[in-house]
Chain A
Amino acid sequence: MQFIRAHVLVCGGTGCMSSGSRQVQAGLEDEIARRGLDNEVKVVQTGCHGFCEMGPLMIIYPEGVFYVSVKAEDVPEIVETHLYKGRIIERLLYREPLSQKSIPSYDEINFYKKQRRIILSNCGHINPDEINEYIAAGGYEALGKALTLMTPAAVTEEVKKSGLRGRGGAGFPTGMKWQFARQSPGEKKYVVCNADEGDPGAFMDRSVLEGDPHRVIEGMIICGYAIGADEGYIYVRAEYPLAIKRLRTAIAQAEEMGFLGKDVFGSGFNFALHIKEGAGAFVCGEETALLQSIEGRRGMPRPRPPFPAVSGLWGKPTNINNVETFANIASIIVDGAEKYAEIGTEKSKGTKVFALTGKINNTGLAEVPMGITMREIIYDIGGGIVDGKKFKAVQIGGPSGGCLPEDMLDLTIDYDSLTAAGAMMGSGGLVVMDETTCMVDVAKFFLTFTQSESCGKCTPCREGTKRMLEILTRITNGEGREGDIALLEDLARGIKQTALCGLGQTAPNPVLSTLKYFRHEYEAHIKDHVCPAGACSNLTGYTITDDCRGCGMCKKVCPVGAIAGEIKERHVIKHKVCIKCGACEGKCPFKAIRKGA
């Protein structure tokens, strides 16, 4: 028998692949074969570890040594020093940004220490293309338990008791939804997994599908059993080719093992699963639009009721849940609802995966218990703001969500507290912004997005978002008028109350939340014609760079005395006084004056 003494796990997630993990893996396999180590060392490609910032990532077992930013050139050294001589390569270890201490193992790193990885527990640790690795990690145990020891009603009851709420945005109790679908009369029912993940800045669903596809499939089969459905669809965005590929492999393997198909576990229960590729439309994440799209139509939402639980895909009762929601099911069934409900807050149970992005040091995926504070996520896990800049706001919930300012950082995160603060859990994208981000520009950014993704079926959303965008564009161009803020608020209220679907109803949120917490920035744009963050190009004045030698030419030429500074020292422009005539820029012999902040 062959004895494998070491496993080298190389991340094969989208992030690490784009940083070159494929070359690292190929180089490693060659080098190991060349040195004749191929029957004692095994190279495994895994899914995403969530720490994309530091990719490509590599873990070497049995020691569990964690190497970051590994390049193809490092491969010979890894084989020679680590795999051959058994010595750790110091320079490839992760260094904590603050202490500069190098840290050899995964669990010691701050980014992972505060996390509680249940849904992501396998991501980065197993080979997603190998069903046996999922089974070895306890996979499909929940399915076996549900099908052989529990009735469909008991499964539904267990999910209800767990307090799990939908991770797709609105946070509707999952068990209740299953019960509605279960109780709907009808022979034929469907289970649909929403893997459209259209919210820009969110990639947790993608990472779960790429890193642990069987967890989602298992959750869907259990749901099928609970509600009495024998067929399911996974609707995946077309922008996720790797996720689609891994899902196809996973479904084929589950069929071969008999977890999908006829008479699963000899229980008489049948379940077939299909993949539908999206075709690029954000609104298709909305459940009724998604169903239209599966049926092969334009993905336009329709009024509810009837809810999909009553009349869904091809008019049949359908239960639709998000990827992460399904990924929670197996652990609820195996460990029991009580155990699951121990994590989290009173009304929001379990963990939530957040995608940390923007101006933050450790970008990546963080799975944390509900009830953690925003500060813990951003500073303890995320390692604070890039380049030591000042935190300004965190945007949560994508185009439906809102921006929270610094004094909300100690807010504990759950569905209800976020909604109360004017934001929303949404899919869990957290985009961190620093002092150089203009909040009016951010609001405009989101409205540009929702306006172009509006399907056009209802007037408030089609016309209203357009008018709001026009106003915001005017403001960021420096043509804001007295009364614009009131007009924005008025339009926002109208759209929220009258739009047909969630897209329109939540589209004004980014504007309303920035108006609530950053109103002074709007006022500065409109009244003083300044963009305090220096981001809106029409409203930024001139700045003097480090190239200034202190010659004093600019000071002399300035018609309004807006420039201060001593000879031979760097000069500065007083923005309040500056009339942006540009006279100084032309005069500077060192080209040290430029437009923009």
Chain B
Amino acid sequence: MEQEQRRGSGGGKISGQLQAIFDKYRGQQGTLIPILQEAQNRYGYLPREVIGEIARTTDNPVSRIYGIVTFYSQFHLKPRGRNIIKVCQGTACHVRGGKKILNFIEDKLGIKPGDTTADLRYTLETVACIGACGLAPVLMVNDDTHGRLTTELLPWILDRYK
């Protein structure tokens, strides 16, 4: 079994970790996106070798997988930080000053949306509504939602995520 996986991928470690995911979805329809989602959960992003391995196992050309990965904003091809900050730029947040919140964080961390700080502590992203519009402006750090933001609150919030 182990032998076989090695032969299949040329990179035994990755193959071993992905195997559980492949097993879970074997024999089902429409599993490519869930497989990519779970692989990303495991690695934090989708390294080249992982995409290659998924392509081989699911019998898809790499170009097709690449097409999917670049279509959906959830997938990432670059390593990401330990804490993902998603600043809402949806309508409700926009009219209540979401832009100011974003600019403040950009200045404070010295990065633009899509980038990661050099120490890999934060990745900054924008999102077009997280459904907590009643508390606009809103941001999410990892799975926590923070609402009714003011620029005074921000340093305190960011500081909590090491």
Measured CB to CB, the residues of A under 8 A from B are: 14-15, 17-19, 52-53, 55, 197-203, 206, 238-241, 276-282, 293-299, 314, 355-359, 363-365, 395, 398, 429, 431-433, 437, 442, 445-446, 449, 453, 455
Contact = CB atoms under 8 A, between A and B. Distances in A.
Contacts of B143: 241
Interface string B120-157: 00000001111111111010000111111000000000
Q: Among A238, A297, A355, which residue has the most Cβ atoms of chain B within 10 A?
A: A297
Contacts of A364: 134
Interface in B4-60: 29-34, 36-37
Q: Which one of B33, B91, B138 has the greatest number of beta carbons of chain A within 10 Å?
A: B91
A364 B135 CA distance: 9
B95, B127, B136, B138: residue with the most chain A Cβ atoms closer than 10 Å:
B95
Nearest to A365: B134
Contact of A445 (B33, B74, B94, B127): B94
A437 B95 CA distance: 7
A235 to B, nearest CB: 11
Interface string B73-93: 111000000000000011111
B156 to A, nearest CB: 14
B72 A279 contact: yes
A152 to B, nearest CB: 25
Contacts of A314: 29-30
Nearest to B145: A18
Contact of A53 (B127, B134, B138, B145): B134
Given A277-B34, A279-B33, A395-B91, A357 B133 contact: yes
Given A15-B147, A295-B30, A297-B68, A200 B91 contact: yes
Given A279-B74, A363-B133, A296 B32 contact: yes
A200 B90 contact: yes
Given A14-B132, A398-B91, A429-B91, A277 B29 contact: no
A469 B93 CA distance: 20
Given A277-B34, A295-B29, A14 B131 contact: yes
B96 A358 contact: yes
B91 A17 contact: no
Given A280-B72, A298-B68, A299-B71, A202 B129 contact: yes
Given A18-B135, A296-B30, A357-B133, A431 B95 contact: yes
A276 B151 CA distance: 36
A223 B128 CA distance: 31
A70 to B, nearest CB: 15
Given A18-B135, A18-B146, A52-B134, A198 B95 contact: no
Chain B: interface size category: 35 or more
A254 B73 CA distance: 33
A355 B133 contact: yes
Contacts of B133: 200-203, 355, 357, 363, 429
9 closest Cβ pairs, A-B complex? A200-B90, A52-B134, A200-B129, A357-B92, A279-B72, A296-B32, A280-B73, A18-B145, A203-B131
Contacts of B148: 19
B158 to A, nearest CB: 16
Interface string B89-132: 11111111000000000000000000000000000000111111
Contacts of B129: 198-203, 239
A206 B131 contact: yes
Contacts of A296: 30-33, 68
27 contacts: A17-B145, A18-B132, A18-B135, A19-B135, A19-B148, A53-B135, A55-B135, A197-B131, A198-B129, A200-B89, A200-B128, A200-B129, A238-B37, A277-B33, A278-B72, A280-B74, A281-B72, A281-B73, A293-B33, A295-B30, A299-B71, A299-B72, A357-B92, A358-B91, A359-B96, A431-B92, A445-B91
Contacts of B94: 445
Nearest to B60: A296
A299 B70 CA distance: 11
A513 B67 CA distance: 35
A356 B91 CA distance: 12
Nearest to B88: A200
Nearest to A282: B128
A568 to B, nearest CB: 33
Contacts of B145: 14, 17-18
A548 to B, nearest CB: 24
A15 B135 contact: yes
B146 to A, nearest CB: 6
Contacts of B32: 296-297
A299 B72 CA distance: 8
Contacts of A239: 127, 129-131
A313 to B, nearest CB: 9
- Most A C-beta atoms less than 10 A away, residue of B31, B74, B127, B144: B74
Nearest to B93: A200
Given A15-B132, A299-B71, A359-B95, 16 more contacts: A15-B134, A53-B134, A200-B90, A239-B130, A278-B72, A279-B36, A279-B37, A279-B73, A281-B71, A294-B30, A296-B31, A297-B32, A358-B92, A358-B136, A365-B134, A445-B94
